[in-house]
Amino acid sequence: MDLKTLCEMNGVSGDEKEIRKAIIEQAKPLCDSVKIDRMGNVIAFKKGKKGTSHILFSAHMDEVGFIIMDATEDGLLVFRPVGGIDPRVCVSKYVVIGEKKVKGVIGAMAIHLQSREDMKRVLPFDNLYIDIGAKSKDEALGECPPGTFAYFDSAYETFGDGFVVSKALDDRVGCYNMLRLMEETYDADVTYAFVVQEEVGCRGAAGAGFAADADTVIVLEGTTAGDMGDANPVQSICNAGKGVVVSFMDGASIANNELYRDMMALAEKENIPHQAKRGATGGNDAGAYQRSAAGKKTCVLSVPCRYIHGPSSVMKMSDMENQFALAQAFARQA
Amino acid sequence: MLLDTLKKVLAVYGPTGKEENVADCVKKMLEGKADSFRTDAMGNLIVEKKGWEDGKTIMFSAHMDHIGLVVTDIEDEGYLRVTSVGGVSVAMSKTRHVVFANGVEGVVVCQPTKGETETLAHLFVDIGAEDKADALTKVQLGDVCVYAPDCFMLGEHRIASPAMDDRCAVALLTELLCEIENPKNTIVGVFSTQEEVGLRGATVAAYSVNPDLGVALDVTGWGDTPEVKLPAVKLGKGAAVKFMDRSMVATPCVRDALMAAAEKAGVPYQREVLPYGGTDGAAIQHSRGGVPAGTLSIPCRYVHSACEVIDMRDMESALSILKTFVNMEF
């Protein structure tokens, strides 16, 4: 399965079944066991040649998106984000809703109708609607009842010098690399956890962590790259094209000191382009793993993604390859 | 001696996430005085002193870490950009002397803000580097600096230092483990990590220790300076038994046992209701299916500054309470 296929699938937090099914299909012939836990995480285990240590790789299957709440009398869908989405990236975007893949557009009051004040403020989700071309509340809710998930409907494209644009790079890129990692058998036992509900608070990983035997966890993520426009270079966090991002700290976890040092040294030794994450904001599943049960050593390897949590996040393919290379080098020496 | 132990642990470098030196220091002091030592994946040092067969297992937690500033980037001119690890306030860190693990020293500076509210993004650390390349020979991204150790007596009983939160409790727990002989209840002393960023170390330690009850040892606020009257605790009036803070309502049986221990030991204590804050006690209390837990506090002025002040009389009171507490029937 290629990255394009993975990215074009839809899976808002809590609704990951399409991706789960595809991952299970691909993982089954490659692993010794593939299980689904109660949260919906896919836990694949591959026995090592020596089995002297046990590491866990994790990536999350879910993406940010929307959920339908209600409809107005004239048939516009009322919705809210699932996961962190800036309302400014939503206006005039195509969405698809539910399994029937109903087409819709996120609308707001046209510029002609906005006051000067309106134009200065960010329209919150209260003022945004999804237009599916329905005539009435009943018709709209008949097609898309409350609780239906909606997704950005944007194409996966390659462009420029090795760049990719897609909606769900965070974190299908991690899922993709994990599926590649499991093609090899390492000395160490490896658990591959494809987890749910990262975007709403690392809920899947919290469960996966409690059940896991491994005491070392490597999280493969997509992370915010701020290397564009007028962003202050010292606040750019990481740069697309400058290699895999290794985090010493973020809002949810502090990397195990030794693991972080080893990872940086390994990248150096293997000549894998890499960068330290230049910031300590954000958070991901490492925080949940680290604090599960009796504790785990964690480290996060990320692919820099610009315009993350929107319909068109952008990454450079070489960074994804470098994430894979470093994760694989780590697995080979574990 | 409580004061000697305190001075020893105050001098050690150990910000949140990099507590190894503190663990080593404590371990050395406890060598030969406990039944077992182990360090877990989060860096917690877990020391056990076995009690009688019919005793319960009590987990005590004192966190080794203290707040610091982590280097997130380096300017071309060689200045370090930083953000906080734990609750560092901009106001308190301005033009402070800081030090890194390798001994590199610096000054925290706040750049002019042009009318904006001062935030951590306005801070930089000047380590006297000529430029970025020079700075990189001294400091790497991810390195953490702390307020430079500076310990002095304030009057007869009081002592000021950065890292008093929570090294005073580290000293207390070390002394308890050193001094207590043949306790009725098994004492598991957890010297915990990463408290300042959300009780992370104690969370996993509580899971693995799986105690019958738990007590966090930590500092609390003060209510005895101009315009600050809550919490209603005063320095020098004894250790404080916590009733509630933002993280926990102390389990009544533990809270009452701490007060009973103080009465029995004949030492002063105070009742503490803290309108903010949280301690490892909450992590213990919320572990697994729930664990009865409380907190014994040392009143501390100017918490999270470079001059955190405690009163040694409160430390002595706390030690007496704990020595009695571990021999009580639960």
Domain boundary among A126, A152, A178: A152
Q: What is the mean pLDDT of residues A1-15?
A: 96
pLDDT-derived band at B108, boundaries 50, 70, 90: very high
Tell me: do A319 and A198 sit in the same domain.
yes
Instruction: Report the SS3 class of residue A211.
Output: helix
CATH number at residue A50: 3.40.630.10
Instruction: Report the SS3 class of residue A327.
Output: helix
What whole-number percentage of chain A has pLDDT above 90? 88
Q: Do residue B83 and residue A296 have CB atoms under 8 angstroms apart?
A: no
Which residue shows structure tokens 């929107």? A310
Q: pLDDT at position A227, please?
A: 84
CA distance to partner chain B, nearest, from residue A295 (Å): 5
The DSSP call for residue A240 is T
- Does an H or E element contain A86, and which? none
pLDDT-derived band at A199, boundaries 50, 70, 90: very high
Q: What is the mean pLDDT of residues B135-152?
A: 97
What gap in Å lies between CA B191 and CA B169, rounded to an integer?
9
Q: pLDDT at position A175, please?
A: 98
Q: pLDDT at position B114, please?
A: 86
Q: Do residue B41 and residue A297 have CB atoms under 8 angstroms apart?
A: yes
Residue A161: inside a domain: no
Q: pLDDT at position B43, please?
A: 97
Tell me: do A136 and A262 sit in the same domain.
no
Contact A225, A240 (CB under 8 A): yes
Number of separate domains in chain A: 2
Q: Mean pLDDT for chain B?
A: 97
Buried b (16+ CB within 10 A) or exposed e, B26-40: bbebbeeebeeeeeb
Q: Do residue B75 and residue A254 have CB atoms under 8 angstroms apart?
A: no
Tell me: do A74 and A59 sit in the same domain.
no
Q: Do residue B207 and residue A257 have CB atoms under 8 angstroms apart?
A: no
Q: Do residue B204 and residue A294 have CB atoms under 8 angstroms apart?
A: yes
Q: pLDDT at position B278, please?
A: 96
Tell me the pairing of strands B68-74 and B144-147. Answer: antiparallel
Tell me which of A291, A292, A297, A298 to substitute to probe the interface with B (most B C-beta atoms closer than 10 Å). Answer: A291
Tell me: do A134 and A204 sit in the same domain.
no
Buried b (16+ CB within 10 A) or exposed e, B277-308: bbbbbbbbbbbeeebbbbbbbbbbbbbbbbbb
Q: Considering only A19-23, A276-280, B14-18, B248-252, which range has the smallest mean pLDDT? A: A276-280
Q: Mean pLDDT for chain A?
A: 95
What gap in Å lies between CA B222 and CA A226, rounded to an integer?
42
Residue A160: inside a domain: no
Q: Considering only A233-242, B102-111, B272-281, which range has the smallest mean pLDDT? A: A233-242
> Does B164 have pLDDT greater than 80?
yes
Residue type, A86: D
Tell me: do A7 and A132 sit in the same domain.
no
Minimal-distance CA residue of chain B relative to A215: B41
> Does A235 have pLDDT greater than 80?
no
Instruction: Report the SS3 class of residue A63.
Output: strand
Tell me: do A178 and A311 sit in the same domain.
yes
Cβ-nearest to A249 among B70, B75, B205: B70
- Residue ranges in chain A assigned as alpha helix (H): 3-8, 17-27, 116-120, 137-143, 169-181, 203-211, 257-269, 285-290, 317-333
Tell me which of A224, A234, A261, A297 to substitute to probe the interface with B (most B C-beta atoms closer than 10 Å). Answer: A234
Cβ-nearest to B72 among A257, A279, A291: A279
Residue A182: inside a domain: yes
Tell me the pairing of strands B36-39 and A274-276. Answer: unpaired
Q: pLDDT at position A236, please?
A: 81
pLDDT-derived band at A206, boundaries 50, 70, 90: very high
Tell me: do A171 and A288 sit in the same domain.
yes
Q: What are phi and psi of B82, to 5 degrees?
A: -135, 160
Tell me: do A302 and A318 sit in the same domain.
yes
Tell me: do A71 and A58 sit in the same domain.
no
Q: Do residue A295 and residue B41 have CB atoms under 8 angstroms apart?
A: yes
Cβ-nearest to B17 among A235, A249, A281: A249
What gap in Å lies between CA A65 and CA A131, rounded to an integer?
16
Residue A298: inside a domain: yes
Active site includes A198?
Answer: yes
Residue A328: inside a domain: yes
Residue A159: inside a domain: no
Residue A157: inside a domain: no
- Partners of residue A42 on adjacent β-strands: A36, A194
What gap in Å lies between CA A67 and CA A13, rounded to an integer?
10
What whole-number percentage of chain B has pLDDT above 70? 100
Tell me: do A229 and A328 sit in the same domain.
yes
Tell me: do A75 and A7 sit in the same domain.
no
Residue A302: inside a domain: yes
Tell me which of A223, A232, A249 to substitute to probe the interface with B (most B C-beta atoms closer than 10 Å). Answer: A249
Contact B316, B265 (CB under 8 A): no
- Structure ipTM: 0.91
- Partners of residue A249 on adjacent β-strands: A254
Tell me: do A171 and A298 sit in the same domain.
yes
What whole-number percentage of chain B has pLDDT above 90? 98
Cβ-nearest to A293 among B44, B85, B207: B207
The pTM is what?
A: 0.94
CATH number at residue A132: 2.40.30.40
What gap in Å lies between CA B107 and CA B98, rounded to an integer?
6
What gap in Å lies between CA B164 and CA B307, rounded to an integer?
8
Residue-number span of the structural domain to which A320 is assigned: 3-63+167-333
What are the tens digits of pLDDT across the range B21-41?
A: 999 999 999 999 999 999 999
**Domains of chain B and CATH, by start:** 2-66+163-325 (3.40.630.10), 68-147 (2.40.30.40)
